[in-house]
Amino acid sequence: MALENRELYSSPNGDRWLLACEPESARVFVRHIPNMPSGGKATDIEIGAFLCERSYGPQHTELLRLIGTLVEKRSDPGGQEPRPPG
C-alpha cells in the first residue's frame, strides 16, 4: 500500500522533506528526498532522530509548527486545565 504523506518543506535547491505514514503499521517518519544532483535517493528518518539533527533547518521548524497545530489549549470556565482520566 502507498505511503500517506504531507510535504513539510521544499528547499530552493530541490531537496524535499515529507511527513510520511505507513497505513498498515501507523509508523510515522520523515522522508528526505534529495535533489537529483545529490542522487535523489529517499531516506526515511524517525521523527526523534530528525528533530535531534545538528543541522537544524527550516524543515525542522515546519515539522514543529505542524505538530503545534495539533494542540489546542482548552480550559474549563473555572480556569482550570482539564484533568486526565483516571
Residues 21-49 have pLDDT tens digits of 999 999 999 999 999 998 889 999 999 99
Residues 47-63 have pLDDT tens digits of 999 999 988 999 999 99
* pLDDT for the residue 82: 55
Three-class SS string for 4-64? EEEEEEECCCCCEEEEEEECCCCEEEEEEECCHHHCCCCEEEEHHHHHCCCCCCHHHHHHH
* pLDDT for the residue 40: 83
pLDDT exceeds cutoff 90 at 73: no
* pLDDT for the residue 76: 47
**What residue ranges do the domains of the chain occupy?**
4-53
**Higher per-residue pLDDT: 72 or 58:** 58
Half-sphere exposure of 39 (CA within 13 A, CB side): 4
Mean pLDDT of the chain, nearest integer? 87
Q: What angle do CA 79, 71, 51 make, to 5 degrees?
A: 135
End-to-end CA distance of the chain: 38
